[in-house]
Amino acid sequence: MDNPNREPNDKRLFLAGASAGLVYGLLVRGGSIVFPRSEIFAEMTVGFLFLLPFAMGFITIFWVERRSPKRAAVWAFLPWIPIFGGTIATMLVYWEGMICAVLFLPISMTLSTLGGLAAGYMVRCTSSRKAGNLTLGCILVLPLLVAPWEGRVLSQNELRNVDTSILIHASPDIVWKNIERVREIQASELEPSWTHRIGFPAPLEATLSSEGIGGVRHATFTGGVLFIENVDEWQPNQRLAFSIHAQSSQIPKWTLDDHVRVGGRFLDVLRGEYVIEPVSNGVVCLRLSSKHRLTTDFNWYARLWTDAIMNDIQTTILEVVRNRCESTRR
């Protein structure tokens, strides 16, 4: 016969375990606020983004399993509670923005699950409490030990190219007029965009000081984001290319925090290029390509996001250009 008190006890036990993982995670994250220049508490590291969630999942299930054996499903999913709790808490106190939270959650949930499974298996298979406590201690200090030296081994600069294209039913000259300058974009012109939903600024307009090579474009985005673009290729109705210089010092922290600031330590957009290619009578293919720099200890993960973000932003711009061109044609 089932014990009627089992469910309440389980709830209290799960809450205690999740709280242990949450408190540990917040203490480590708080260290970066108290000691902002310390490499031990650096956030954009493998130690913080990968090993910390693993340790949070480990301590959560270690606490629970030591007191009452649970199913593997508990090992796998209970660690998500401190991950979500920590993410929400850091957003509420403005330690992190929505963008960083979205980028962090997929990998942190995965690693916390692995940590929970590792803890459950270890507790179930290790009879020595002393050995278990020693393992727990090693897991908890591992993120702090790895962070100070990993950058010397793992950090790398990588240049990434992102290419997008769209078919437009308009002549090359009409398309050219809509890309050399981009008049102010109204909110109603923007298609739904997942990057905008998570906090990335939306394109607003692009001005041009003078036609031809040497012209300067000012590309502005919502939230006070400005890019100065120096034209170095100018082939009317065919090609427009420019170097990009993000005015990172002018970007408000509430728009893009330091972890995702364009022109900052970890990310910069360097070049942009439009190419107009006739496809058939009255139809052209407009290509927009960009080059950006990525500098992290985990480019293999970060590039998935930066490529996707640039692709979405460029697609949004191309859709605005297409709609304007085809509206003009009609």
Residue 126: the pLDDT is: 85
Ranges of residues in the chain whose predicted pLDDT is under 70: 1-8, 329-330
Q: Please, are residues 56 and 50 in contact by the beta-carbon 8 Å criterion?
A: no
pLDDT value at residue 8: 47
In 3D space, the residue among 156, 159, 52, 146 whose CA is nearest the CA of residue 104 turns out to be 52
> Given CA atoms 125, 128, 130, 131 in this order, what sign does their dihedral have?
negative
**pLDDT value, residue 5:** 47
The side-by-side arrangement of strands in the sheet containing 216-221 is 156-168, 283-296, 267-280, 239-246, 225-235, 216-221, 203-208
Contacts of 178 (CB under 8 A, 6+ apart): 321, 324, 325, 328
Give the global pTM: 0.88
What share of the chain in percent tops pLDDT 70? 97
Where exactly are the structural domains of the chain?
6-154, 156-329
- pLDDT in the model for residue 73: 96
Distances in Å between the alpha carbon of 197 and those of 83, 233, 313? 21, 33, 12
What is the structure's pLDDT at 1?
A: 38
For 208-254, how does the pLDDT look when each residue is reduced to its tens digit (9 = 90+)?
A: 999 999 999 999 999 989 999 999 999 999 999 999 999 988 888 77
Backbone CA torsion sign across 305, 310, 313, 319: negative
Q: Which CATH number among 3.30.530.20, 3.30.450.20, 3.40.718.10, 3.40.190.10 corresponds to the domain 156-329? A: 3.30.530.20
The pLDDT of residue 330 is 55
